[in-house]
Structure 1
Amino acid sequence: MANTSLITLPIELIHRILNNLDVYFINVSVRKVCKRLYLFVNFYNRYEFDLDLLSKSRLKIISRFIQPERITSLVLLNRSYALEKIKFFFSLFDINQLTQLRSITLGQFDQLKDAEFLQHLTISNLVSINIRSTSADNRNQLPFISKIMNQSSFLRMYLAESYYSISLIPWTNPCSIIYLTIKSCSLKEYDLLLQRLPYLRTFSTGEFIIDKLNQLNSSPSILKSYSQLMSLMIENGSLSMTDFELILSLTPSLTRLKLISYKSNLFSIANGSDWEYLIHNKLPNLKMFEFFFSYRLQKENEAEDLTLFLNQFRTLFWLKEKKWIVTCDYVLKQN
């Protein structure tokens, strides 16, 4: 096999490598290696600026090499020490020339005036937004969210680290989002999302909340279903098989399902026969089923029952029809 060095690689591969390198390292180190890499770096136009990782001095240095239109991703978390750095960044890079932004990550902006710059960003090419905010009041960002919702290029929204109320988000009709991840979701909100997001293909939530008292009033009709969703991920420690059946009845078109659950009673949701019935009747198109169910053993002899439990996942349905392999393990700790 012929020896291949970095500088002999085609520009497409070099740019893929640069995608994984720090913006400062690219311009201060890589571009100085040789003339070929110098040219490749000069043509590179997919820079991600994470202001948490860049000091003011480094920002000033790299501003001499990079034009604003070569920046495609911004991370502006606005931690307590970072607001001045954000302002400093925009003093170096003309906000009106950031025309190729495809991704933006935002933190919490406590004052409306601190978020005013968002309204001046060019978002015609924006594909995704990630909002990381621990505050329960995120109204300062709603005008910006409303603005990007109207962009046909906007496809992905990440709210897994934010306390956003689904009902307060200004969903457009129709909305172009195909990927959505949120911190928590109720059954009523899930139904609302499926109504408002006709192109949604992937949905992930850290917690699915079922209101037992108002479930009959707030639950969607069991006859209602939506065909757009293909992939669903739920991380939750309190859902029952009845809850799962109600949720999954809404989306019979699912091809991928991922569940993570921590229960006090493992066997209430890990019954292979129940899942076989549910998949047969509610999810006929399911191709990939990933689950992790965790349970703290109360007695040592319960470990012996796990073999019987696992046999429920060794039927023809699991092994032959679906070709899904299920394993189980446990750790016994001495007091």
Structure 2
Amino acid sequence: MSMNQQSLLPTLPVEIVYYICDCLDAKTILVSFRNICRRLRNIINNYDNYILDFKNTSQSDFRLISRLINPQRVKSLTLSQQTTTFDQTIFFDKQFHVKDFSRLHSLTLIGIKESRLRAVLKHINILSLVSFSLEIGEHKKQHDHVTATVLTSILTRASLRKLALNIEQNRIEAIEWPDPCTIEELKIDKCIGFDSIRRILHHLPRLKTLTIDCYSIKTIHPTNLTAYCQKLTSVSLEKLNMNIADLEFFLQSMPSLIDLKLTGNGNYFDGHRWEKFIQK
């Protein structure tokens, strides 16, 4: 960076400084950008749009950022259990206090131990969450009820709009979905049966986007789901293993469908048949 460019930075309007911060990672903001001059430090100390993604972060950087960050100014947080030698959730639990992350809108937990779920969530103001993504890397039978209870609690929060789950099927089936639930975007990466899908859809009148693993769904029960799928506009069905007739019956329940993605084994690419189906 030239001397002229450096001299311009301290004079930038606050809005421009915040825009620049939106384009930088947390470490760059906290370690480099904030320390250019006193004015920038004062401005950035009030910046409240941090996105902390620790998915590919070294242990040293994780500790550094955790010490420097003001958790009340974090909008999005991703924790990941990448190695067996360093558990991010343990250090996270020690570093922060209960409800420290009071303004968090998005929380993503990747590969974490099921036994650590509650320890992480006690630092989060669940009321502020708009998006929650959970992938359990190590399941324990003694925690299956705990996980379902925690998820049920999160789902009762009126602010939640997006949910992604990669957990064992029995955990998903044990969730008590509120009626009605405010979820608009749902992704389930573990295969679940059609009865479970039907039960979940029954509680999601606002659902617009659905992504599910369909591997275990061989047949579709002749149940009209139209009442539950009125607002569905985007559907992704992965690992499909059902016959085309059952698939068509399922899709007939989605009158507002605009985007459809299918992956799996089967005769799903008959253009003439799809043309006739769409024209019905």
Deviation track 1:160-214 (CA, whole Å, cap 9, x = no partner) reads x3334442122111111000011134332222222111111110123353334xx
Say whether 1:127 aligns with 2:130.
yes
Say whether 1:70 aligns with 2:73.
yes
* 1:211–1:238 CA distance, 2 compared to 1 (3 A): closer
* 1:114–1:157 CA distance, 2 compared to 1 (3 A): closer
Which whole-Å CA distance do the structure 1 matches of 2:239 and 2:64 have between them?
Answer: 46
- Of the two structures, which has the highest relative contact order with CA contacts closer than 8 Å and spacing of 6 or more? 2
Is residue 238–residue 261 contact of structure 1 (8 Å, CA) maintained in 2? yes
* 1:180–1:16 CA distance, 2 compared to 1 (3 A): farther
Q: Which residue of 2 aligns with 1:97?
A: 100
Most deviating of 128-137 and 11-20:
11-20
Say whether 1:163 aligns with 2:177.
no
Say whether 1:150 aligns with 2:140.
no
Structure 2 length-normalised TM: 0.79
Q: Which residue, 189, 203, 206 being the options, matches 1:196?
A: 203
Q: Which residue of 1 aligns with 2:85?
A: 81
Most deviating of 163-172 and 122-131:
163-172
- Count of residue pairs the alignment pairs up: 267
Q: Which residue of 1 aligns with 2:234?
A: 231
Is residue 181–residue 205 contact of structure 2 (8 Å, CA) maintained in 1? yes
Q: Which residue of 2 aligns with 1:271?
A: 270
* Cα distance, 1:269 vs structure 2: 2.3
Q: Which residue of 2 aligns with 1:331?
A: none
Q: Which residue of 2 aligns with 1:108?
A: 112
* 1:60–1:253 CA distance, 2 compared to 1 (3 A): closer
Which whole-Å CA distance do the structure 2 matches of 1:211 and 1:59 have between them?
Answer: 44
Q: Which residue of 1 aligns with 2:259?
A: 256
Is residue 236–residue 261 contact of structure 1 (8 Å, CA) maintained in 2? yes
Map 1:324-335 onto structure 2 (within 5 A).
none
* 1:167–1:59 CA distance, 2 compared to 1 (3 A): closer
Say whether 1:28 aligns with 2:31.
yes
Which whole-Å CA distance do the structure 1 matches of 2:112 and 2:173 have between them?
Answer: 19
State the structure with more CA Rg. Answer: 1
Could you say what secondary structure the match of 2:152 adopts? Answer: helix
* Cα distance, 1:93 vs structure 2: 2.7
Q: Structure 2, unaligned stretches of length 5 or more?
A: none
Q: Structure 1, unaligned stretches of length 5 or more?
A: 282-335
Aligned alpha-carbon RMSD (Å): 3.1
Q: Which residue of 2 aligns with 1:326?
A: none
Most deviating of 91-100 and 177-186:
91-100
Q: Which residue of 2 aligns with 1:175?
A: 181
Could you say what secondary structure the match of 2:135 adopts? Answer: strand
Question: Among the aligned pairs, what percent are the same residue?
Answer: 29
Q: Which residue of 2 aligns with 1:305?
A: none
Say whether 1:209 aligns with 2:216.
yes
Q: Which residue of 2 aligns with 1:312?
A: none
Which whole-Å CA distance do the structure 1 matches of 2:123 and 2:152 have between them?
Answer: 14
* 1:10–1:187 CA distance, 2 compared to 1 (3 A): farther
* Cα distance, 1:43 vs structure 2: 2.6
Deviation track 1:65-93 (CA, whole Å, cap 9, x = no partner) reads 4322112222233453343x433333333
